[in-house]
Amino acid sequence: MAEIKVPELAESITEGTIAQWLKKPGDYVEKGESICELETDKVNVEIMAEESGVLQQLLANEGDTVAVGQAIAIIGEGAAAAPSVAPQPADEPKPAAPVNQGEETAPQPVAAVQVSGQRPIASPAARKMAREKGIDLTQVPTADPLGRVRKQDVASFAAQTAAAPQPASQAAPASTPAAVPAAEAGKPVIREKMSRRRQTIAKRLLEVTQTTAMLTTFNEIDMSAVIDLRKRKKDKFFEEHDVRLGFMSFFVKAAVAALKKYPYVNAEIQGDEILLKKYYDIGVAVSTDEGLVVPVVRDCDRKSFAEIERDIAELAAKARSNKLSLADLQGGTFTITNGGVFGSLLSTPLLNGPQVGILGMHAIKLRPVAIDEERIENRPMMYVALSYDHRIIDGKEAVGFLKTVKDLIENPEDLLLES
């Protein structure tokens, strides 16, 4: 017999949450086969069996938080013993005895899952939704003859609970304050548990605001030249490279050129030292259903426009299908985020620590622009923002960095020469 333990994942990850068991007690597992999905601060990873055998016992349930090195299952040779899960408290009721084969009973609809306190039978998707919404699965009704709770049962129960007025005398849950704000009393609300990734995002963004001297400087870019160049070259570009030419590769290349000119924007503070990085691994923020992630495009100074566009497309696809590895997210030196894809006109991006600079792109809007003293033209304009850590970056450097990005985007021929 051998224990399956949570492996070392990354230096910054010390624990995770069991999101879903892929195997159940009694299943035969091959060496290297995935047995469960672990939700960490950054990505979801699958834990694999280190040897072949029968999964005899689960030492943690779905939704449990487990530490690196903690045993979560036992695997053994030969036939499995009676399948078991993580031990339950001694005072919990035992499962009902099975019906004898000779007895015949008419199937009855299940009004509720199981007796309160007993671990209910539920699909992984249902368990995940219940955790997020703070719902006790034992209270969820289901029409399944075997009492299994499905995702749609949880969704229906959540909607009914939110719509139904709560009795004034009902006691508040132990995890919430006893006093309910007057504005909330008798009003429909939904209480959701934050996912591990959302908790981590909240924690780290708060740390950034508390531990850095963050300032933001703004500028605007006339996108006419880049739009015209892209319009003329996009079909040929796609034919030759099998990837679409977007705006992000232009901004990545412009950022790299500006980082070379202003190296402290590509730095990091370590104690009382400044670490100047002479490589250019650019993080590109991607929005997913689970929250914002920042996969990293490596060696952007050495890559062509096509290679950068291809890397961005592949990383974005992996992010949205939850297939990013930890290596995809580590080691970035500077970040670019594009709120313009959601229609943002202007915003102040927060630093992606320990980096000291982040470039924010925004929506392209036609605005009247003074060409000279007599002419005004409608031009496609984009506001850009650079948030920076004022502890090592002075305003002159920040403004110069953003002005360099502006000049290169407005003159893409210069950008090609810089590359």
Confidence (pLDDT) at 184: 62
DSSP label at 259?
Answer: H
pTM for the model stands at: 0.63
Q: What is the pLDDT of residue 220?
A: 97
Most confident of 37-46, 92-101, 276-285: 276-285
Contact in structure between 297 and 227 (CB atoms under 8 Å): no
pLDDT tier at 42, thresholds 50, 70, 90: low
Phi and psi at 257, nearest 5°, equal -60, -40
Q: Which residues are catalytic?
A: 390, 394
Residue 418: band (very low, low, confident or very high) from pLDDT cuts 50, 70, 90: low
Long-range contacts of 273-276 (CB under 8 A, 24+ apart): 274/392
- What's the mean per-residue pLDDT of the chain? 82
Residue 268 is which amino acid? E
DSSP state of 4: E
* pLDDT tens string 175-221: 444 454 555 677 898 888 887 777 777 888 888 888 899 999 999 99
DSSP annotation of 265: G
Per residue in 334-352, pLDDT tens?
A: 999 999 999 999 999 999 9
- Residue given tokens 């950022």 in the structure block: 255
Split at pLDDT 50, 70, 90, the class of 417 is low
